[in-house]
């Protein structure tokens, strides 16, 4: 990280400025000329690092995946330190997630994956594949979490745990859409807390 070549630094600067613009305005609305101006390079320089806008999208998604994984690792790791019980750890983790989203200034900045999902006809197979890998990563992560819980507390309803794992991502994505549509940044964290309530009811051995 500390030792970057000049090329790597320029590439990182392009990604940084591009990410800010994309999260603020969407991928389509962010022009290459604009990125070029913000990153203080020329158009030639941009196309030297990325062969087209698809390549930029793919790089943004893949960087997003790694950053997000680190955040989730930290979140769930801290939650597990706070309780030996897998259900309690999950409930703490979901609360942390809701707080994380709520504390983001101006609400969750929006998810690049979803942005790509809604414009996937514009993107090529590479971008779509990167997108699928991101969602699959979430599924496996939360599937493992729910497996641990289900080993101790059998779920109250005949639930497919893969579907339940997808629900975490789905609630966040849907919450972002709702928050944007309603211009109310709190909606996303509220939805995560409802998911937490569901997980609690689903796995709790006895109500209250």
The conformation of residue 31, written as its DSSP 8-state character, comes to: -
Least spacing, CB of residue 113 vs DNA, in Å? 20
- Per-residue contact string for residues 47-66; x = within reach of DNA by CB under 7 A: xxx-xxxx------------
CA-to-CA dists, residue 60 to 2, 64, 112, 187, 198, angstroms: 21, 6, 8, 26, 33
Which residues bind to a second copy, rule: CB under 8 A? 24-26, 28-29, 110, 113-122, 128, 131-132, 134-136, 156-157, 159-160, 163-164, 166-167, 169-175, 177-178, 180-183, 187, 190-191, 193-194, 197-198, 200-202, 207-208
From a second copy, DNA, none, which one binds at residue 78 (CB under 5 to 8 Å depending on kind)?
none
From DNA, a second copy, none, which one binds at residue 69 (CB under 5 to 8 Å depending on kind)?
none
Q: What angle do CA 93, 104, 134 make, to 5 degrees?
A: 60
User: Which CB atom, from 11 or from 108, has the smaller least distance to DNA?
Assistant: 11
Q: Which long-range contacts (CB under 8 A, 24 or more apart) does 43-49 make?
A: 45/10, 46/14, 49/7, 49/10, 49/11, 49/14
Locate 36 and state its tokens.
């070029």
């Amino acid at each position: 990280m500390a030792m970057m070549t000049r090329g790597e630094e320029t590439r990182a600067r392009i990604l940084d400025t591009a990410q800010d613009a994309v999260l603020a305005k969407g991928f389509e609305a962010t022009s290459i000329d604009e990125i070029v101006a913000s990153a203080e390079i020329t158009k030639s320089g941009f196309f030297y690092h990325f062969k087209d806008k698809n390549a930029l999208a793919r790089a943004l998604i893949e960087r997003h995946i790694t950053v997000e994984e680190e955040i989730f690792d930290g979140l769930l790791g801290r939650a597990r330190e706070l309780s030996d019980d897998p259900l309690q750890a999950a409930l703490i983790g979901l609360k942390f997630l809701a707080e994380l989203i709520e504390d983001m200034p101006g609400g969750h900045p929006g998810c690049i994956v979803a942005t790509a999902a809604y414009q996937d006809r514009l993107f090529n197979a590479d971008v779509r594949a990167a997108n699928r890998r991101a969602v699959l990563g979430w599924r496996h992560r939360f599937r493992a979490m729910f497996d641990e819980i289900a080993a101790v507390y059998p779920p109250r309803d005949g639930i497919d745990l893969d579907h339940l794992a997808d629900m975490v991502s789905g609630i966040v994505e849907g919450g972002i859409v709702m928050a944007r549509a309603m211009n109310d940044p709190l909606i996303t964290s509220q939805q995560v807390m409802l998911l937490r309530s569901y997980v609690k009811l689903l796995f709790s051995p006895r109500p209250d």
